[in-house]
Amino acid sequence: MRAMTQDDVDVVLAIEQAVQRFPWTRGNFADALNSGYLCRVDETESGGIRGYAILMPAAGEAELLNIGVAAAQQRKGLGRAMLAEMVETARAKQLRRVFLEVRSSNIAAIALYRSAGYSEIGVRRGYYQGANGSEDAITMACELMGESNG
């Protein structure tokens, strides 16, 4: 993976709009880049973007804000690999844990996160807006460093 640039936003936005029911906007991606979040893209050898991930570090922790894989590249392990790389990026920055929120209906993503070492730590009722009202978010965390005994 490499750092995302403003030049990548059109392609990333197209993937986002194709794979998410309630996609981020161009402004969301621009804001993440301008805020200095850890924005990465997965690129093929020929230069095509297959996926992206955005990690927001804050106060010794990080939140995975968004991750997406182009539809044609799904179910091939790319999402798992990108998730692992973002965790390693957080670990290299000596962050203690990575949080994320996932729609309670997104069974495939929940299974991926669990298998990658994330555990459920809470529920945010009505967090996501949906076509028929709101939907709960499951909050998950992956511990990157052992708990201190202090």
pLDDT tens sequence across 13-24: 999 999 988 899
Out of 16, 63, 101, 135, pick the active-site residue. 101
Span 123-127, mean pLDDT?
92
Relative orientation angle of helices 26-34 and 9-19, to the nearest 10 degrees: 130
Q: Supply the mean pLDDT for the chain.
A: 91
**Token output for 85:** 């790389």
Res 83 pLDDT > 50: yes
Based on the residue annotation, tell me whether 61 is a catalytic residue of this protein: no
pTM of the shown model: 0.88
Based on the residue annotation, tell me whether 52 is a catalytic residue of this protein: no
Backbone angles phi, psi at 119, to 5 degrees: -130, 150
pLDDT band, residue 146 (cuts 50/70/90): low
The per-residue DSSP string of the chain comes to -EE--GGGHHHHHHHHHHH-SSPPPHHHHHHHHHTT-EEEEEE-TTS-EEEEEEEEEETTEEEEEEEEE-GGGTTSSHHHHHHHHHHHHHHHTT-SEEEEEEETT-HHHHHHHHHTT-EEEEEEEEEEEETTEEEEEEEEEEE-SPPP--
Out of 37, 52, 113, 128, pick the active-site residue. 113
In CATH terms, the superfamily for domain 2-143 is Gcn5-related N-acetyltransferase (GNAT) (3.40.630.30)
